[in-house]
Amino acid sequence: MLYNLAKFREIISNTLMHCEYTNPFPSKLVIGKNMVYTENANKSHGELQLHPDNFSPFPKNPVIARVVKEIGRADELGSGIRNIYEYFNYYSKQKPIFEEKDIFKCTVFLDDVLDAEMKNLVKSNVGKDISPTL
């Protein structure tokens, strides 16, 4: 559960902090059976896919980012992509996708992957085995 909360904290924080609020495109958080994705208006610096090892963080809304950081919902500039990449393997064998365009899109896949350590932790706290659809 901790991994789940951390992943969604980063996804939602990034959407709030990096949205282009002067654009009427509505921000979206879509939860599907096998993926979660967000879309929000963006001031793009080119069309590319972002990876933790090849991007330079750019504060799109520094005042909002500062508030989100102060209330403990974000760590530092650029930490969202790094954190999502750190946690994705608890949920999927597919890497997350960050598309930097006029509409920024973050896609995180859900493949019912739960490592043995997490299964044991849940089993010891709940007292019974868990199904793979947890």
Express each pLDDT in 68-94 by its tens digit.
Answer: 888 877 776 667 777 788 877 777 888
On whether residue 131 sits in a domain, the answer given is no
On whether residue 56 sits in a domain, the answer given is yes
Q: How many domains does the chain have?
A: 1
Residue 48 sits in a domain whose CATH number is 3.30.565.60
Report the predicted TM-score, pTM, of the whole model to 2 decimal places: 0.70
On whether residue 79 sits in a domain, the answer given is yes
On whether residue 84 sits in a domain, the answer given is yes
On whether residue 132 sits in a domain, the answer given is no
On whether residue 134 sits in a domain, the answer given is no
On whether residue 133 sits in a domain, the answer given is no
User: How far apart are alpha carbons 91 and 74 in whole angstroms?
Assistant: 21
Domain that holds residue 47: 2-126
pLDDT in tens, 9-40: 778 888 888 888 999 999 998 888 788 899 99
Average pLDDT, the chain: 76
On whether residue 107 sits in a domain, the answer given is yes
